[in-house]
């Protein structure tokens, strides 16, 4: 793992374990690394092993030893949580993720690698995350967005937005769609989701037509990745950044808030529209979105005021009046 050369061996072993054995994505493994790097840099400051005026981002961690880790207590862990809250202004969701990183790392050292006998992170509490309703486009706003598509790459861009809004794809899943993983009649495709897990995405008429229209104009000559469905201007697989840029562009053209919405909010939109208008069962929605935990899917099943009113109106006693 060349990206992690400055990490001590036990951290590199942990990251390798999380990727190869636990099936975590490369991006998730990088997050583990960044979290642990911040943690060890703080601990060196906290234990007075570096000067207090040192640039925090330049504190090396390659010299962290198992004995150093063994000396870290639960009290030290809470000092770290106070630091990332007050000094780094990490929000509760970020702090919760960093707690999860520490718990996974210490569990690995204790149970798998058997390098430590005591796991102080076992008793480390995670900050409470305030639940908020996910932001999503309404049905009319979704239509508005699709109608805004124009320009040189309109077939490609329309297909991208259509897949986002109909299938609830993650950004990484969309850019990595391969032509050979689309069925011959183009009614389904296979994507690689989180943890390298494959899942089948069923395509409705709008998706099938959008893909067909795009494939008619998709470049063939000089293509660097012939299997990539969506291509960039340079005829190579389109990047995450390019997709994020085009989504923001069309949101602006549709008169929608580009700060409020993003590619991930289009995933929220697809899930919400399916649940609200398609009467999709929550477990079916879980499969469609590729969620490991049902609790993750539940954030998409929020109800709006109209749904609450409709529920009350449908009560069988709604029409009963006192004589």
- 1 has pLDDT over 50: no
In a 13 Å sphere around the CA of 34, the CA atoms on its Cβ side amount to 9
Catalytic (active site) residue 17: no
Catalytic (active site) residue 88: no
Residue scoring higher pLDDT (3 or 76): 76
Residue scoring higher pLDDT (7 or 286): 7
Tens digits of per-residue pLDDT, 48-74?
999 988 999 999 999 999 999 999 999
Tens digits of per-residue pLDDT, 78-97?
999 999 999 999 988 899 99
Within 10 A of 38 (CB to CB), how many other CB atoms are there? Answer: 21
- Given 135, 194, 235, 249, the catalytic residue: 194
- 300 has pLDDT over 80: no
- Given 24, 95, 237, 291, the catalytic residue: 291
Confidence of residue 295 (pLDDT cuts 50, 70, 90): low
pTM of the model: 0.61
- 312 has pLDDT over 70: no
Going from the N-terminus, what domains does the chain have, and what CATH number goes with each?
2-123 (1.10.150.130), 139-308 (1.10.443.10)
Query: pLDDT over 90 for what percent of the chain?
Result: 59
- Given 267, 268, 275, 276, the catalytic residue: 267
Catalytic (active site) residue 300: yes
- 306 has pLDDT over 60: no
- 179 has pLDDT over 90: yes
Confidence of residue 230 (pLDDT cuts 50, 70, 90): very high
The helix (H) or strand (E) run that includes residue 246 is: helix 240-253
Catalytic (active site) residue 107: no
- Given 30, 46, 264, 302, the catalytic residue: 264
- 4 has pLDDT over 70: yes
Rounded CA gap, 219 and 226, in Å?
Answer: 9
Tens digits of per-residue pLDDT, 114-169?
999 999 999 999 888 766 666 788 889 999 999 999 999 999 999 999 999 888 78
Rounded CA gap, 308 and 193, in Å?
Answer: 34
- 113 has pLDDT over 50: yes
Within 10 A of 97 (CB to CB), how many other CB atoms are there? Answer: 17
- Given 24, 41, 170, 276, the catalytic residue: 170
Partnered with residue 202 across adjacent β-strands are 188
Residue 187 to residues 39, 171, 208, Cα–Cα distance (Å): 47, 20, 6
Tell whether the torsion through CA atoms of 194, 200, 205 and 210 is positive or negative: positive
């Amino acid at each position: 793992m060349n990206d992690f050369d400055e990490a001590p061996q036990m951290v590199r072993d942990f990251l390798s374990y999380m990727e190869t054995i636990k099936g975590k994505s490369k991006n998730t493994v990088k997050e583990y690394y960044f979290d642990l790097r911040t943690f060890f840099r703080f601990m060196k400051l906290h234990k007075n092993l570096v000067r207090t005026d040192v640039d925090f981002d330049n504190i090396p961690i390659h010299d962290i030893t198992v004995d150093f880790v063994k000396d870290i207590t639960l009290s030290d862990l809470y000092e770290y949580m106070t630091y990332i809250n007050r000094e780094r202004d990490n929000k509760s969701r970020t702090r919760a993720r960093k707690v999860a990183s520490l718990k996974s790392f210490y569990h690995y050292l204790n149970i798998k690698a058997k390098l430590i006998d005591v796991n102080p992170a076992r008793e480390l509490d995670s900050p409470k995350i305030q639940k908020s309703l996910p932001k999503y486009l309404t049905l009319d706003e979704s239509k508005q967005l699709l109608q805004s598509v124009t320009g040189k790459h309109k077939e490609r861009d329309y297909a991208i937005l259509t897949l986002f809004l109909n299938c609830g794809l993650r950004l990484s899943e969309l850019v990595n769609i391969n032509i050979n993983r689309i069925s011959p009649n183009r009614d389904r495709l296979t994507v690689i989701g989180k943890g390298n897990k494959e899942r089948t995405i069923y395509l409705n008429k709008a998706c099938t037509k959008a893909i067909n229209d795009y494939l008619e104009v998709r470049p063939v000559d000089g293509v660097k990745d012939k299997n990539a469905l969506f291509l960039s201007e340079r005829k190579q697989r389109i990047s995450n950044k390019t997709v994020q840029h085009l989504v923001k562009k069309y949101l602006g053209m549709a008169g929608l808030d580009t700060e409020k919405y993003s590619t991930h909010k289009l995933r929220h939109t697809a899930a919400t529209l399916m649940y609200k208008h398609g009467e999709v069962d929550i477990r079916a929605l879980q499969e469609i979105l590729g969620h490991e935990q049902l609790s993750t899917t539940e954030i998409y099943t929020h109800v709006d005021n109209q749904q609450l009113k409709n529920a009350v109106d449908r009560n069988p006693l709604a029409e009963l009046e006192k004589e």
